[in-house]
């Protein structure tokens, strides 16, 4: 069921010819994905997480460095520089340089678990970026429909003001012809004032919805467009069980919660590995001039070493780290279960809202048709002096309310479908 649309002067970015530039729903969503700062933040988080994966993987490979020193003074005084290889020699006079090689030979899975943790965290960041995209799409869609709804209600309010102004003119003419009382004139004036107040409130709602749409798209400044009314057909949604299954399979935030649990599970493995030995290798080769010693000057030297580190006693630090990792994993799994329950609630509520809005459209349409016929009869009876002005006013108010309810029901239906689409993950809005 389509809703007709006109030009929206308050959101009209003019083109070169001075005509308002149209903005479709798809274009609005694309603008949101291109401009919204929250998505840029999420993309930066993905880049940072991928860089952390590279850092973790680097421990699989040898670490090479070059060091050099020129020293005269007490042995060991250059230890504060942290120079590896021959520059760290303990002689009084020392001019040396060396190329250094490090390698972790075996660490009982420390590196493997750290890499797995960082990979899961990177996947979580990517999924959170997808979830942010879905959130932006959803916010733009709802804001877009809210603007169209506010504009439609403004048109109805303006129509009501025009009709009640015309009614006032008629009643004044009847009063001057002594066919109606002054009471009818005062009632008509009051009805016109009420309609004008409603129009002012709707105009405020239009401005607010415009600002909300711009915020949803991440657009700053005075960007004005003519919105297009997307076609809509009243179609029944899939069954609730199908939707729940789709949500469990497609929701990126659920997948992100699973990735976080996987990352913390790997952290538990890394914490357990920290309590085991670690074997490291070191080699250096270079040249040094060692004066005042039995070592010959200007000769090349080399060294190779294999070391083992065993955390025999750490005062409970490693045990505490393992307990912390297990507690964080437990919390992540609980958060995942809570999110699943929340998703189920979202899907169920959105599904119910779609069904309810479909019924609301049907009943509002029937109400509008009946109210229109009642107003037509009331006008005919009023002109024939068979009905009171109160009867005519009641019929006008009833039609206005029916038209407003019908318009709101139509956009409630579109918003309900947008909510349902968001609640099950990537899909198409009918």
pLDDT at 79 over 60: yes
In this prediction, residue 50 has a pLDDT band, given cuts at 50, 70 and 90, of: very high
Q: What mean pLDDT value characterizes the chain?
A: 84
pLDDT at 5 (0 to 100): 37
Strand partners, 281: 103, 306
Q: Are 98 and 290 in contact (CB under 8 A)?
A: no
Residue 290 pLDDT > 60, yes or no? Answer: no
Cα 201–Cα 205–Cα 211 angle in degrees, nearest 5: 150
* Spatial separation of the C-alpha atoms in residues 10 and 227, rounded to whole Å: 10
Q: φ and ψ at 274, to 5 degrees?
A: -65, -20
Class of 9-64+108-276+317-424 per CATH? mainly alpha
What SS3 class is residue 386? coil
| Model pLDDT for residues 395-418, shown as the tens digit of each residue | 888 988 999 999 999 999 999 999
In the predicted model, is pLDDT for residue 266 greater than 50? yes
Mean pLDDT of 318-326: 91
User: Are 68 and 96 a contacting pair, CB within 8 Å?
Assistant: yes
* Rounded Cα gap, residues 93 and 75, in angstroms: 9
Position 413 scores a pLDDT of 93
Neighbours of 370 (CB within 10 A): 13
pLDDT above 50: residue 21: yes
DSSP 263-274: HHHHHHHHHHHT
Q: Is the pTM of this model over 0.95?
A: no
User: How far apart (Å, rounded) are the C-alpha atoms in residues 219 and 211?
Assistant: 9
User: What does the pLDDT average to over 151-172?
Assistant: 90
Q: How far apart are CA 258 and CA 131, in angstroms?
A: 14
Confidence of residue 177 (pLDDT cuts 50, 70, 90): confident
């Amino acid at each position: 069921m389509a809703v007709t649309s006109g030009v929206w002067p308050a959101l009209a970015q003019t083109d070169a010819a001075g005509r308002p530039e149209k903005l479709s729903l798809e274009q609005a969503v694309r603008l949101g994905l291109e401009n919204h700062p929250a998505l840029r933040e999420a993309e930066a988080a993905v880049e940072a997480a991928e860089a952390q994966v590279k850092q973790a993987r680097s421990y699989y490979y040898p670490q090479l460095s070059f060091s050099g020193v020129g020293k005269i003074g007490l042995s060991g005084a250059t230890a504060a520089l942290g120079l590896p290889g021959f520059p760290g020699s303990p002689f009084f006079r020392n001019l040396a340089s060396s190329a250094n090689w490090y390698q972790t030979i075996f660490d009982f899975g420390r590196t493997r678990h750290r890499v797995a943790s960082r990979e899961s965290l990177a996947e979580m960041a990517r999924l959170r970026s997808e979830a942010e995209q879905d959130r932006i799409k959803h916010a733009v869609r709802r804001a877009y429909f809210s603007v169209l709804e506010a504009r439609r209600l403004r048109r109805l309010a303006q129509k009501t003001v025009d009709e009640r102004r015309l009614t006032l003119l008629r009643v004044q003419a009847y009063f001057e012809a002594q066919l109606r009382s002054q009471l009818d004139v005062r009632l008509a004036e009051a009805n016109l004032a009420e309609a004008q107040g409603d129009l002012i409130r709707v105009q405020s709602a239009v401005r607010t919805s415009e600002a909300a749409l711009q915020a949803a798209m991440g657009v700053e400044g005075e960007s004005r467009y003519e919105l297009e009314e997307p076609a809509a057909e009243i179609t029944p949604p899939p069954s609730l069980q199908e939707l729940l299954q789709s949500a469990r399979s497609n929701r990126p935030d659920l997948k992100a919660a699973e990735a976080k649990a996987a990352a913390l599970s790997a952290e538990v493995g890394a914490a357990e590995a920290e309590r085991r030995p670690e074997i490291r290798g070191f080699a250096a080769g270079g040249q040094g001039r060692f004066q005042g010693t039995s070592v010959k000057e200007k000769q090349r030297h080399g060294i190779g070493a294999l070391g083992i580190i065993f955390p025999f006693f750490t005062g409970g630090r490693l045990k505490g780290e393992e307990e912390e990792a297990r507690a964080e994993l437990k919390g992540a799994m609980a958060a995942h279960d809570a999110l699943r329950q929340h998703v189920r609630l979202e899907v169920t509520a959105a599904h119910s809202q779609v069904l309810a809005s479909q019924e609301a459209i049907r009943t509002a349409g029937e109400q509008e048709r009946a109210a229109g016929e009642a107003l037509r009869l009331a006008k005919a009876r009023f002109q024939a002096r068979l009905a009171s002005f109160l009867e005519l006013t009641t019929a006008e108010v009833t039609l206005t309310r029916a038209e407003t309810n019908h318009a709101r029901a139509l956009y409630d239906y579109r918003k309900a479908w947008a909510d349902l689409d968001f609640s099950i993950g990537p899909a198409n809005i009918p």
